[in-house]
A and B are shown apart, each in its own frame.
Chain A
């Protein structure tokens, strides 16, 4: 079974600075998807960014980018120019290609300080 580990329960960053959230996963599959979801206090899970395992190029989405290291099974999220609205719980998730099941990590609570 796949597992996802987020080793940082809490992180904090100053507004306008850069922060990196870590995620590692375990799988025997060669093809899969990886995601970062954001969950603010409203509880609505919002997709931040996704990466297909067969793509070597790291995904970027405006201020959000990932560092995908397939051999190391590592998938970190970098948030540049942090904004107060980025404060939330961030979940890393693994997606199977044989189905749509998502396996989530335990989450990292990000605080943005003004």
Chain B
């Protein structure tokens, strides 16, 4: 079974530029999550999708971050414009529905904003 795929693995941009990250969850997993992990900290949930609907985006900075999950499969997380404090690893995870809370994580994208 293929794991959660993410791209790119690394990205360096200047502040005020825009960037997008892509995630492909495990086949059959209806729930998809995006986490932000700042260096030295634990991951923080940004947004959670159930199929293609948003379940929780309470910690998403909506003035600059956006995310979508078309057709309930792949997802894209965008930052526009980026700030220095957005430098972090962005992790995508997926899980099955039906009460299973085991989240499977992708390798992450390391973003550096200069």
Which of B40, B48, B103, B107 is close to A43, meaning CB atoms less than 8 Å apart? Answer: B107
Nearest A residue to B31, CB-CB: A100
Residues of A close to B55: CB separation below 8 A: 99-100
Q: B interface, by DSSP: helix, strand, loop or mixed? A: strand
Nearest B residue to A96, CB-CB: B101
A95 touches B101 (CB 8 A): yes
B102 touches A50 (CB 8 A): yes
Taking residues whose C-beta sits less than 8 angstroms from the other chain, chain B's interface range is: 20 to 34
Interface residues of B in 1-42 (CB under 8 A from A): 31, 33, 40-42
Give the CA-CA distance A107 to B101 in the complex, in Å. 20
Taking residues whose C-beta sits less than 8 angstroms from the other chain, chain A's interface range is: 20 to 34
- CB of B95 closer than 8 Å to a CB of A: yes
Q: How far is the CB of A23 from chain B (nearest CB, A)?
A: 11
Q: How far is the CB of A80 from chain B (nearest CB, A)?
A: 23
Interface residues of A in 41-95 (CB under 8 A from B): 42-47, 50, 91, 93, 95
Give the CA-CA distance A33 to B102 in the complex, in Å. 10
A99 touches B56 (CB 8 A): yes
Residues of A close to B104: CB separation below 8 A: 47
Nearest B residue to A42, CB-CB: B107
Residues of B close to A46: CB separation below 8 A: 105
Given contacts A100-B95, A101-B48, contact A106 B42 (CB under 8 A): yes
Give the CA-CA distance A33 to B36 in the complex, in Å. 21
Residues of B close to A4: CB separation below 8 A: 42
B103 touches A100 (CB 8 A): yes
Give the CA-CA distance A37 to B40 in the complex, in Å. 15
